[in-house]
Every structure is written in C-alpha cells, then in structure tokens.
Structure 1
C-alpha cells in the first residue's frame, strides 16, 4: 500500500526552537538536488515586489510569502504537524503510535511543490508554494518534478496498490505506472453524497472522508491491503459508521457504501467511490 496525499494549503509554523530543515534527512534523497533548486528559486522570487502575483496568492498572504526567503534557517517540524486542514485533522497522523506510526512512515507520502514528496515524520518548515506555479528558474512545478518523482516512486509503487487522495495539480506531478515492470494498481478516491436517490460530488466532506479512510488504513488491525480489491474490502469496514459532522448544521453523516470501478481501457486509475449520507 502506498497512500498519496496532497499538502494542505494552510500550514502550521514549527516552534521557534525547532532545528532547521536537513535536506539529507528527507525521504527520497535522490530529490535533494531538485529541492535545492526549488528552495533557491522560491527564496529569490519571494523577495520580489511581485512575489504574490508570481506565486498566485492574495496580498493578505504577503507575510507568509516573505518568510519563504528564509526557509533554510527557519524552524522545522514533522510534516504531519506542519500540514493542517480537514484531511489531516480526520487522518490524525500526529496521533499515531507504535505499528500504526511505523506503517504511516512506510506508506504515506505527502506531495509538495517545494519538497517533491515527504513522509509525515520528515521535518520541514512551513512555506507557501503550490504545484500550479510556474516558478522562475525552475519552470512549471508539476512538469519540473515529474521525472524526479518518477525515479523516486515508481519502484516503491510496483506490485502494490496506490491509494490516491491527491488533487489534480499534484496528480500531474506523478502518475503511477499501470503497465510495464513498475506496474501498480492505481486507485483514486472519490466521495459522493447520496440524498433522495441522487449522488453528487462533494468537496469539504470529500477531504474529511479521505482523511477518515487514511486513518482507518493505518490504524486497523491486520495486514495493509496490497491490491485494489483488498482496498475495497478495507474501505467497506467503514460501512454504516458515522464518520463526520456537517459544517453549519451540526448534523452527522455516515458512510453507506464503497464501490470500485472497473479498470480503464487505457492507462489510468480505477475509482474507489465512497458514498456518504
């Protein structure tokens, strides 16, 4: 099992007494040179007057952008603490202990426009950069990272099931091979709501539900799934469980069904659909 997560847009800064990032300690050391290039380019851009425009963020985030210039010396913390938001709150990566924490270290990879990919335990500083940016001196980040992530991840994914919870921008940086020597069973996770006989795609609840699934995959007893069918069976263990509360109404919702789509005719993922109501 390889669980692919997107980063959170918002990030929690590390405590002031945290040691700075050590690039040599991050997972996939083959990415170090590209990380160096991205760090240098981001620092240069973040010192420019048009930095918020280049990085595609609002003017209210100017202070966060300016801090990008000092990331090499900024305090760092485990990525599972730095990345925050709905998915990460539901997954509870920072609460894992024992075998569940070991499993997360081995199976969870968080995709990043700056670091490429990190484990939850990798220590990084908070930063502001998204994969959709065309970073001067580096280029379009999804394109720039693609060959490096292919080299770093294809062998790890081969023969396993990839549980893909990423958004489109981060998916563009690496797509698992579904044929050839590094073929994996690639499954994307989609969440829909059922109401009055109709099913519609949701957004906020989707992030939360993907987080719940991630937490379940890491905490449950037994072997981690290694195939798409095994993933489906594991997801169905959540059928009937209350998994969240609606923002605003305070009403709870539960997962009522999990289904797995057929393999596509061409290279691409199968879809694990989680139905909530």
Structure 2
C-alpha cells in the first residue's frame, strides 16, 4: 500500500530534527526545469499568479532566487518535517519513532507542485507552488501539463508491488495523478463530521483526519488495506452504509468531536 498526501503552504525550517537521515528527491531534475522558469518571475508576477500579498510575494521570489542544488542538510530539510499544515498536525511527524519513519519512507508519499513526488525524508528547499497554479511553462499552460504522467509513472514504480494506492490527498493534488494509468487499486477515505444534525465534509477536520489516518497506518504497520476500516482515531468510525468500493467513508458525531 502506498499513501498519498498533499503538501502544505506553511513550512517549518526551525524545529530541531529528531533524526539526521535524509534522501534526495527523485524528480529533482524536473524541479530544476521548473525553477529555471520560476526564477524569472517578479514580485508582481508572483502576486498575480498566486494571489499573494506583497510581503508573501517577495518572500517567494527570494525563495526562487536562492533555490540551488545540490540539496544538503545545511540548505534543505526532510519534507515530512518541513511541511506544517492541518494534514501534518494530524500526522505529527515528531511523534514518530525511527522504525515508524522507516515504514513511512516505504509507504508514504507527498505530492508537490515543485517536486512532483516526495518521500518523507527527501530533502526540500522552501517554496510555494500549489499544483493548481496556472503557471505557463515549457510543457503547457499549467503544472498538470508540466508533470504529465511523470508522477503517475513514479507511483507505479513504487506501488506496483503494494497493490493499493490510498488517496489521502486533496482533489487539487490527486488530479496530477492519472488514475487510469495506475496499476494499483485506488481507495479514497472520506471524512464527514456532524454539524447541526447533518454529516458533511468540513475542510479543516478532513485535512487533519487524513494526517491522522496516515499516522494510524504507519504506527500500526498496516499493509492489508481492509485493516484501515478499523481506524477509530479522534472519534471517527467506518460507515459501511455510506461507503463504496472506491470511497470509504468515516463519520464522527458532534459528541465525539
């Protein structure tokens, strides 16, 4: 089983790392091609392209201009510890033991607009480039056209023997995966919370739940996808009635939230 999660816009390059091991992104040559074009953007370009404030636009222009290979522990950080958003609050990477991290390195991947596909310990330099950004580049009008089937090919290389792809990513990022080309079966967990007597997807809770499920799989060394139905963290329960072959629904009542 191979789990896919989205990256985060918020980054952390300050917290001391629990381990000093790292790996290199496998699609870094593609990242370099993108960066060769991104580095020419002005703060105004970035503000328009990403709908950012002047301050954030300048920050990201500086990131583009200072981005350089080779990646080392001195100028980059393992992806799992660099991302800091709702998904990563749920994942809680700093609570993972060494054996957990080793398992995650084999079974968890982060989709990325700049890096394509990252392993937890892959070094990355700070950036902001969401997959849905309409950045015109040498291969097309957006990042989906830039990546083409490269991300899908990489997933197939790594998931072929793992049979199942557990999609814990957002629609924006999973759209970069060409599902018809995937060798493995895709299962997408859906998290619904009760609000005023109605069960619905609430973005903040759903993002955190994706991270919680990734941590659940890692800490319990789950390899049989059927065992995912046992997920009961933070009050969520599998709902057979709401689920189908492709979407597994987990529901949480207000009293359990």
Query: Is residue 256–residue 275 contact of structure 1 (8 Å, CA) maintained in 2?
Result: yes
Aligned partner of 2:145 in structure 1 is: 143
Alignment of 1:51-130 (within 5 A): 51-67=46-62, 68-72=64-68, 75-130=75-130
Cα contact 1:93–1:120 (8 A) shared by 2: no
Q: Deviations over 1:236-270 (max 9, x none)?
A: 241xx5x2xxxxxxxxxx2233447333xxxxxx1
Query: Could you tell me which residue of structure 2 aligns to residue 40 of structure 1?
Result: 36
- State the match for 2:169 in structure 1: 166
Q: Which blocks of at least 5 consecutive residues in structure 1 are unaligned?
A: 16-21, 244-253, 264-269
C-alpha root-mean-square deviation of aligned residues, in Å? 2.4
Greater strand share, structure number: 1
C-alpha displacement of 1:186: 0.3
The CA distance in 2 between the partners of 1:226 and 1:235, in whole Å, is 10
Taking structure 1 as the reference length, the TM-score comes to 0.77
Deviation at 1:89, TM superposition (A): 1.5
Q: Say whether the 8 Å CA contact 1:13–1:125 is kept in structure 2.
A: no
2:123 and 2:50 mapped to 1: Cα distance? 23
User: What are the superposed Cα offsets for residues 87-140 of structure 1, whole Å, 9 maximum, x if unpaired?
Assistant: 101111233223211110011110111010111111111111111122243441
Secondary structure at 1:191 match in 2: strand
Displacement after TM superposition at 1:204 (Å): 0.6
Cα deviation, 1:10-61, whole Å, max 9, x if unaligned, reads 122368xxxxxx9xx5243xx233211112111112x353221123333341
Which residue pairs with 2:18 in the alignment?
none
Q: CA deviation at 1:235?
A: 3.5
- Distance change (3 Å), C-alpha of 1:176 and 1:94: farther
Using the size of structure 2 for normalisation, the TM-score is: 0.82
Residue 228 of structure 2 corresponds to 234
Instruction: Work out the CA distance in 2 between the residues paired with 1:79 and 1:125.
Output: 9
Compared with structure 1, are the counterparts of its residues 126 and 66 closer, same or farther at alpha carbon in structure 2 (3 Å cutoff)?
Answer: same
| Distance 1:134-1:256 versus aligned 2 partners, 3 A rule | closer
Q: Mark the CA change 1:48 to 1:199 in structure 2 (over 3 Å): closer, same or farther.
A: closer
Alignment CA distance shift 1:175-1:258 (3 Å)? farther
Once the 2 structures are TM-superposed, how far is the Cα of residue 274 of structure 1 from its aligned partner?
A: 1.3
**Whole-Å separation in 1 of the counterparts to 2:83 and 2:37:** 22
Task: Indicate conservation of the 8 Å contact 1:176/1:184, yes or no.
Answer: no
